[in-house]
Amino acid sequence: MTTHLKDRVEFHSAKPEGVSVNVPTEDHVRITTPAKVCGMGHRMKRKEDPRFIQGHGRYVDDVKLPDMLYMDIVRSPYAHAKILKIDASEALATPGVIAVITGEDLKKAGNLHFMPTLMSDTQMVLPIEKVVYYAQEVCCVIATERYIAADAIEKVVVDYEPLEPVIDPFKALEDKVIVRDDKETKTNHIWHWEAGDKAATDAVFASAATVVEEQIYLPRIHVSSIETCGMVANYDKVRGHMQIYMTSQAPHAHRTVFALVSGLPEHMIQVISPDIGGGFGGKVPIYPGYVCCAVASLILGKPVKWIEDRSENLQADSFARDYHITARLAADQHGKIIGLQVKTLSDCGAADAAANPSKFPAGLYSICTGSYDMKAAHVTVDGVYTTKPPGGVAYRCSFRVTEAVHMIERMVDVLAHQLGEDPADFRLKNFIRPDQFPYKSPTGWEYDSGNYKAALDLAMTMIDYRALRKEQLEKRARGELMGIGISSFTEVVGAGPSKDYDILGIKMFDSAEIRIHPTGKAMARFGTKSQGQGHETTYAQIVAEELGLPAADIQVEEGDTDTAPYGLGTYASRSTPTAGAAAAMAARKIKAKAKKIAAYLLEVGEDDLEWNVDSFHVKGSPDKKKSIQEIAFAAYTNHPQGMEAGLEATDYYDPPNLTFPFGSYICVVDLDSGTGEIKIRRFVAVDDCGHIINPMIVEGQIEGGLTMGLAPAMFEEIVYDENGQNLTGTFADYLLPTAVESPKWELGKTITPSPHHPLGAKGVGESPTVGAPPAIANAIVDAMWHLGVRHLDIPVTPQKVWRALRKAGVTD
Amino acid sequence: MSQHEITVTVNGTPRTRKVEARLLLVHFIREDLCLTGTHVGCDTTSCGACTINLDGEAVKSCTVFAVQADGARIDTVEGLADGATLHPLQQGFWEKHGLQCGFCTPGMLMCAKAFLAQNPNPTEDDIRHGISGNLCRCTGYNKIVEAIQFAADKLREPKGT
């Protein structure tokens, strides 16, 4: 049944308390602690690195348990086919093969052949009637050794009757072939969603002086973390206890899902997410392989390991993007943007298994008015089933923000060119001004703070924008092709306020628990889970900032659901906005108790005390003081009568609003007019993520994110043939940038703190992935605009450029 | 499947094991020798996470059979440090933030070790081409390049007296 979600448009308009209009922008990182404390702003070397550089990281595939069995998966060679028969007799007769599990087996085990998706749809774990995508899991083999399992899957004989595949999402809407005939309503249309005011937008367009329109496709791509997905499930039949090592970005949420689906009591499930080799959204969903592995251990009572191959990972795990967009942008007679209309078709594959908050089937896509002040906007998205792998994960992005940013930044460039205005000047003219914050957008968002002009001004100065435009004119006169592309993006991260944000009903708060030991060392545990972001360092620096304990003395732990406080995990740049805030709040609770203890020890009233870096001292007597370490010792040895012993606190932080990082990127390209070769000459990235916890880590996040933005802009695309076969199922065909393709990024920063985050921080990990693709695409189109080229879909390859040049008669 | 006895000198220690003819060197290192610092990131010799040094050459151990390494010297990330003293490459990666999730790091380190042995005074461009067989999804490579430059400088310093 089609679900209309129009009534959910106004969900994210919570006005944060204590908002001050026009938060001032700073240009220096704030440091308030000495190097020995190493609080916020210090370039602390990462605490997690010694184990990684010495080969002592512990990833899921490194887990080896006694009597462990290995699972491998038989996959479908068809995108759409009836299953007539599965004959596993030869596989089962192979020495070392313990079991073969089919969809029928899962059905008998309690209807486990289907599982719920994060979007409240259903997805096959193992099929019974038919397969609905190429490389779909058909059945799994469990054996005593990895190689025996791999041999045995070749011996399982499956008879298929091929059905017509559904590859084109527009044709899917015709409902001639139904992908999900297991459902009551026989249609491929899943949902319709919209935001903004249609009537107001129509009226604005009717009055417009200029309207531009483009078809923009953001192709299917894949996160391709270098570590694939995997699990070791270890069910102890005697204790009734299930221990799961899993590549999980959200271990607590996954534990709850396992409990709900399997019927095992939640306190008897322990999910351990050990070191994770990159996530980028791909380790948020639960894949069929995980469920099969857990069920195999449950049935056999032995540990079972499943580690997917890269080709399985690329062909069957959740994709990102796959948005077909028609966008129209309107301006008045003064060249002022007045309205945006967007129609979108979302190719969901064979299940709506997107990793979005429950109420947001199109994620946070309605941020699509971006950094620009306009009167009205209306955006629609329709979800459709096709016979492709399900998904819709973020690819290092906060729930469909990349799609929104790419669309608006391309459209702003097209409109600027159409009006004959410089794209930088056009942006400066149309930006939301600093004095308009907190800014209410036409699609219902309340931006917390921003200073878009400051960021673009800095980027233009760094790259000497005006000189580049002059050079471009000179080159053009000589027939040389040079382009300059700008992207002035607004991100929206840190989901999120529990009023609107949940995953399967679980509110999207996050948590921190801090325990100070008697000797002044501390343990801090979190509901998030680092996959390379450096939480062990940044969280320690937050606690150090608040309590004055050296960051080196604070041990950060995440990922074990038996010990960490409940949280929703790490994705969508939410760790700093949520768990980072929780760390500050928990530390402040500890500080409040520490003050009472200090007052007792110094025999003064609490009001007589002042805090300075790491100690309370008596006002006017800086020598009369107690350090946090002395207070910690006293909390266990000499605390006031009537007070509980110990020094610890937990905080579950529910953010009042999301945070809105932003930035301006400028890319300069030179095109070879004969071959279409694209050379990125320079790329300047100015980011504003509010107050910075560790500048080194922030730079690392930005550089990595930029390369992950370059990837879909120029290289990566999951391609299917007309039969639904994946033509890009290995790294030989799906091209990740190497060190040779990745440019030397030039970074700059402005600092406009979030007014509602306890530390003024905003989150940064995904801004560059969101902001980079349109800067690159805009630069390439800018080089060819005078030849009549208005738009090229990403990935913009030399072949696409060469074709456009050929069409323009520049090359032959 | 035929079994063969092989002897390989791993990080300076001779190790003798009986292995299947088809056993991949990376699985021999990870499963038989329990040296799990060497990782598997793909199945097409594309990502380089499994890079080790085989008789001093950087080799992707997912595309070598263990039996082919019989009699050879293998160096893995676990043998890179000199006791408690980190190798200049390890220092460089730590100092310059050359890693995030750490999964590609052992392969990068071993690739860089063999590269610097051949080219002790590389340009930035040399380094980029030298590590172009190793994929990193987290860092964007700049800081890896800086880390290798740091190590190259340090390795060229005259040995302390």
Angle between helices A251-262 and A288-300 (to 10 degrees): 60
What does DSSP assign to residue A263?
-
In B30-89, the residues whose Cβ lies within 8 Å of chain A are 30-31, 34-44, 46-47, 49, 76-78, 80-81, 86
Q: Is the pLDDT of residue B161 over 50?
A: no
Q: Per the CB < 8 Å rule, is B101 touching A276? A: yes
**pLDDT tier at A812, thresholds 50, 70, 90:** confident
pLDDT bracket for residue A506 (50, 70, 90): very high
- Interface test mutation site (partner A, options B24, B38, B101, B132, max chain A beta carbons within 10 A): B101
Residues A108-113: what's their mean pLDDT?
Answer: 93
Give the residue extent of every domain in chain B. 3-78, 88-156
Q: Give the chain B residue whose CA is nearest to the CA of A742.
A: B140
The fraction of chain B above a pLDDT of 90, given in percent, is 97
pLDDT at residue A6 in the model: 36
Q: Shortest Cα distance from A64 to chain B (angstroms)?
A: 9
Nearest CA to A761 out of A590, A538, A567 is that of A538
Q: What distances in angstroms separate CA A310 from CA A73, A77, A627, A780, B109, one per listed residue?
A: 13, 17, 52, 32, 22
Residue A566 has pLDDT above 80, yes or no: yes
Testing the interface with B: which of A54, A144, A697 to mutate, by most B Cβ within 10 A? A54
Q: Identify whether A397 is a catalytic site residue.
A: yes
Report strand pairing: A615-618 vs A621-627.
Answer: antiparallel
- Quote the radius of gyration of chain A (alpha carbons, Å): 27
The active-site residue, picked from A123, A243, A249, A629, is: A249
Residue B158 is predicted with a pLDDT of: 87
Q: How far is Cα A434 from Cα B114, in angstroms, rounded to an integer?
A: 53
A520: left (phi over 0), alpha (psi -120 to 50) or beta: left
| pLDDT tens-place string over residues B63-88 | 999 999 999 999 999 999 999 999 99
pLDDT over 90 (residue A811): no
The backbone region for A154, taken as left when phi is positive above 0, alpha when psi lies in -120 to 50, beta otherwise, is: alpha
Query: pLDDT at residue A10 above 60?
Result: no
Write down the catalytic residue from A38, A292, A397, A667: A397
User: What is chain B's mean pLDDT, rounded?
Assistant: 97
CB contacts < 8 A (A, B)? 183
Q: Chain B closest CA to A200's CA: distance in Å?
A: 43
* Chain-chain contact of A310 with B47 (C-beta, under 8 angstroms): yes
Q: By the CB < 8 Å criterion, does A739 face chain B?
A: yes
Please determine, for residue A284, whether its predicted confidence score (pLDDT) is greater than 70.
Answer: yes
What pLDDT score was predicted for residue B160?
A: 58
* Domains of chain A, first to last: 49-57+510-653 (3.30.365.10), 63-163+227-277+283-316 (3.90.1170.50), 399-495+657-803 (3.30.365.10)
A745 touches chain B (CB under 8 A): yes
Confidence check on the interface: ipTM exceeds 0.90, yes or no: yes
At A4, the pLDDT band (50, 70, 90 cuts) reads very low
Model confidence at A373: pLDDT above 50: yes
Return the residue of B nearest to A224 by Cα: B137
Assign domain B3-78 to its CATH architecture: Roll (3.10)
A744 touches chain B (CB under 8 A): yes
Distance from CA of B130 to the nearest CA of A (A): 9
Mean model confidence pLDDT for chain A: 96
Q: Do B140 and A61 touch (CB under 8 A)?
A: no
Does residue A293 register a pLDDT over 90? yes
CATH level 2 (architecture), domain B88-156: Orthogonal Bundle (1.10)
pLDDT tens figures, A253-277: 999 999 999 999 999 999 999 999 9
| Measured distance between the N- and C-terminal CA atoms of chain B, rounded to whole angstroms | 54
Contact A532 B34 (CB under 8 A): no
Long-range contacts of A205-211 (CB under 8 A, 24+ apart): A205/A328, A205/A330, A205/A339, A205/A341, A207/A332, A207/A338, A208/A330, A208/A331, A208/A332, A208/A338, A208/A339, A209/A331, A209/A332, A209/A333, A210/A330, A210/A331, A210/A335, A210/A415, A210/A418, A210/A419, A211/A328, A211/A329, A211/A330, A211/A331
Nearest to B141 among A276, A311, A707 (CB): A707
Distances in Å between the Cα of A627 and the Cα atoms of A420, A554, A586, A597, A619 are 64, 16, 19, 11, 15
CB A208 within 8 Å of CB A332: yes
Give pLDDT tens digits for A596-646.
999 999 999 999 999 999 999 999 999 999 999 999 999 999 999 999 999
What is the nearest CA distance from A635 to chain B, expressed in angstroms? 36
Q: Do A55 and B38 touch (CB under 8 A)?
A: yes
Say whether pLDDT at A590 is over 60: yes
**CB contact, 8 Å: A742 with chain B?**
yes
- Restricting to B residues 107-146, those with a Cβ less than 8 Å away from any Cβ of A are 109, 124, 127-129, 131-145
Is position A396 annotated as part of the catalytic site? yes
Nearest to A704 among B23, B135, B138 (CB): B138
A56·B81 Cβ contact <8 A: no
Active-site pick, A180, A220, A396, A427: A396
Q: What pLDDT band is residue A398 in, cutting at 50, 70 and 90?
A: confident
Q: Residue A391 — very low, low, confident or very high, per pLDDT cuts 50/70/90?
A: confident
Cβ contact A54–B90 (<8 Å): yes
Q: Is A249 a catalytic residue?
A: yes
Closest approach of chain B CAs to the CA of A700, in angstroms?
A: 6
Asked if B97 lies within 8 A of A46 by C-beta distance, the reply is yes
* Catalytic residue check, A531: no
B36 contact residues in A (CB cutoff 8 A): 55, 58-59, 61-62
Tokens of A531: 């996959």
- Is the CB of B27 less than 8 angstroms away from the CB of A280? no
A773/A710 Cα distance (integer angstroms): 6
Q: What is the pLDDT of residue B1?
A: 77
> Average of pLDDT values for A43-55?
98
DSSP code of A286? P
Percent of chain A with pLDDT over 70: 97
Chain A contact probe: residue of B96, B142, B146, B150 with most A CBs at under 10 A: B142
The reported pLDDT for the residue numbered A5 is: 34
